[in-house]
Amino acid sequence: MAGSFLIIGMIILTQTVVGILGNFSLLCSYIVLHVMGYRLRSTDLILKHLIVANSLVLLCKGVPETMAIFGWKQIRSDFGCKLLFFLHRMGRGMSIGSICLLSVFQMITISPWNSRWAALKVIAPKYTVPSIFLCWILQMPVNVIFPIFITGKWSHNNITEERDYGCCSSIQTDQKNIKTRDALYAALLSSPDVLCLGLTLWAGGSMVLILYRHKQQVQHIRRTDASSRSSPESRATKTILLLGGTFVCFYTLSSIFQVLLALFVQPSWLFVNMTIIIAACFPSVSPFLLISRDSSVQRLYFAWERNAKSSTIMRKV
């Protein structure tokens, strides 16, 4: 059992550290590009908020769970558990909201001028900031209900029924209405996610269809330079499709584990931690997907590498 504790703890710790470093470095890269005067796309602002949301998920879940597994100072107050669960839910909800916004805005951007979305191509960038803040605002009333029944494990003595969530737990007192209450809460909490997931899949399918039609049109052009090179819009669309597809896969798997966790009155320690690990996969992987696909960020990293090499050579000389 001690070996299992160590393995799970190391996995969560590695996910948290690598994910936070990846998100922080990517956020710093966008900030540096903005300061240097690079022309950023309208979707880059959404990516910045996605990075913040991913960081919230990792910090508010990975750090406390790592501390709990290794026996370090743990959260004992109700307020600490409630605040962490609220911020974690906010980050998780904003993560899927950002993916949804990215997919919809990019679908509008690459849509042909003769399509029904042509009127939105000009005005869509103006609504990027209001859409982002609307997502944050809508997440607050939905997720403020979630931490009501979350408590610290050492903040109560007489427990009739306790459900373990790792470093925190929830108390269940009314056994008669518990199933009805949990079903209502699950429906309320999952409805925005289901809507965003549906919009993401619809926008992703539309982008794939637009790219396919564009490829067919390009094949009729005989010039090899026009057919071999992909436009910046096409590269950005493929990046967002890769990001959205990765999110949908991890989110679907995480949702299955979340549902099973809600059904079990006393879930096992291993199952609780497996749910935490799967939920942290996308926030840990997504910044490296963006770094590997974003040409502007890659140019910035190459410039840093050249400067570092040149400074090293100058020191040797």
Give the model confidence (pLDDT) of 146-190 as tens digits: 677 676 655 555 545 556 665 666 665 555 555 666 667 667 777
SS3 assignment, position 222:
coil
CA pair distance 162, 266, nearest whole angstrom = 8
- Residue 73 CA, chain-centre distance (Å), reads 27
Q: What angle do CA 299, 301, 307 make, to 5 degrees?
A: 100
pLDDT at site 37: 73
Percentages (nearest 5) of helix, strand, coil residues in the chain: 80, 5, 20
Higher pLDDT, 90 or 309: 90
pLDDT band at residue 1 using 50, 70 and 90 as cut-offs:
low
The percent of residues in the chain predicted with pLDDT above 70, rounded, is 70
pLDDT at site 182: 63
Each residue's pLDDT tens digit, 79-119? 777 888 888 888 988 999 999 999 999 888 888 877 777 77
CA pair distance 111, 10, nearest whole angstrom = 45
pLDDT at site 5: 74
CA pair distance 317, 313, nearest whole angstrom = 6
pLDDT greater than 90 at residue 142: no
- What strands lie across the sheet with 162-164, from one edge to the other? 150-152, 168-171, 162-164
pLDDT greater than 50 at residue 228: no
Each residue's pLDDT tens digit, 45-87? 898 999 999 999 999 888 888 777 776 666 666 777 788 888 8
pLDDT at site 49: 92
DSSP structure string for 15-39:
HHHHHHHHHHHHHHHHHHHHHTT--
DSSP bridge pairs for 168: 152
Higher pLDDT, 161 or 272: 272
DSSP structure string for 156-206:
-S--S-EEE-SSEEEE---SSSHHHHHHHHHHHHHHHHHHHHHHHHHHHHH
Read off the tokens for 292.
């590997």
Higher pLDDT, 310 or 217: 217
Taking all residues of the chain, what is their mean pLDDT, rounded to a whole number?
Answer: 77
pLDDT greater than 60 at residue 224: no
Most confident of 26-35, 203-212, 219-228: 203-212
- The packing angle between helices 232-263 and 78-110, to 10°, is 150
Closest listed residue to residue 23, CA positions, set 48, 60, 42: 48
* pTM, full prediction: 0.82
